Structure 1
């Protein structure tokens, strides 16, 4: 898998600082302060308890170094890299108290984000042999969107909007409130910047035909359509607009959906239903 450039640490540090402050409370690590003698040094390893794709390793490094800049942290499996059960993902050397105080935050991020990357990689594998891209949605943990979407990239997927300001996405409620497909598309053509991409959701082929006739959209979101309907949508579109299939996309149906010829499949489960991967810190 191609490894991606990392975000600048300064973008991620506020998230890690907040998590460390939450975990340390008002007095710091009481257990460590009580039982670990100052100057005690150890080497620890982050170890995989199951197979997966790494994500959150950059954040784990930040967590350890925010607690103690003197810690030596070596990443063995970088973000986006594959690993198997028993592999060492990172090694940390230095004050035992510092390692223990950063342990939980580092593992919480790395486990959660590696779970997202791993689930994404499984969805991407189902599209092999097609040009369909797996994308995430905005169904992310509040405050953690940037790192959860980065984890999707580490798993080989692609990102949808990061925020409401990234693009125009006209959903069914917008259409209902605005009075129909033609009125919303006419409004877009009259007022939207030429720099902004426009996507519109449709529930059936009649609505798709209306979008194709009216113009003004770049992407059509085909919501909760079965496979025969998706095939017909691709035929009707005839390459004019990008097509995105969405709605209850499960691992078991992705290969069938990607074979229809849609350009994108958006999967909310990548971020809202991924299991945290089991990673441990061993001294």
Structure 2
């Protein structure tokens, strides 16, 4: 069992840290809103600290799942940042979905300080975090990944190193690009079924067993038809991720016309007041259009 720090107790980080404590690790948590860290410690029996640096002191692994590039920098850098508290050789594992730019910056910073850094964004949403069934895509030095993999497996159904530093974040971009197109396609199929006077549930029962089947179809079609949008990853966060994808595509020369279009559809959902709805709310946009 290891001594760990976990930074960020949002809808993903809160249960992920809980799995680590339940597995017998010694976990100290930090959250920007201290009351949530206190609540976690009371619920799970672990410890909490008032700063990332204090949480990271003496930890073999420091794991983070925060909001964006700036949030990640704030918990890593500066006098109260985790890097200032980490021992030589300690490993920082970043589960946040961020740009490859900040990953390169923090990987270099950790190495310069005698520490190690693994980018390890996750997919599977809140349900995956709560059930310990996340897919984790990693980049970084092989030795650092090998040491961190058993820790991550506590809440993973699949954990894999894709390549060197940044490869995990690039893979997460592929994930979000694929999801954007899938959810829009599913939304259009359900919209078409409604307009054609078909029973959407009966339609999905049939087509889900063929080539059209997907995780999104199996897990979201019923809530979509019922106008329920409180299940999983929020539109605001998806737009943040797609912005990273589109910016990186400009840098690499990749062409992402469908992703760019779906990003604008999510902008429409935000204008409808659906920034905190889950990503399947693309269907709500089509219903509003008639």
The TM tier, using the shorter chain, reads under 0.3
Q: Which has the higher strand share?
A: 1
Greater RCO, CA 8 A, separation 6+: 1
Taking structure 2 as the reference length, the TM-score comes to: 0.26
Question: Which of structures 1 and 2 has the bigger CA Rg?
Answer: 1
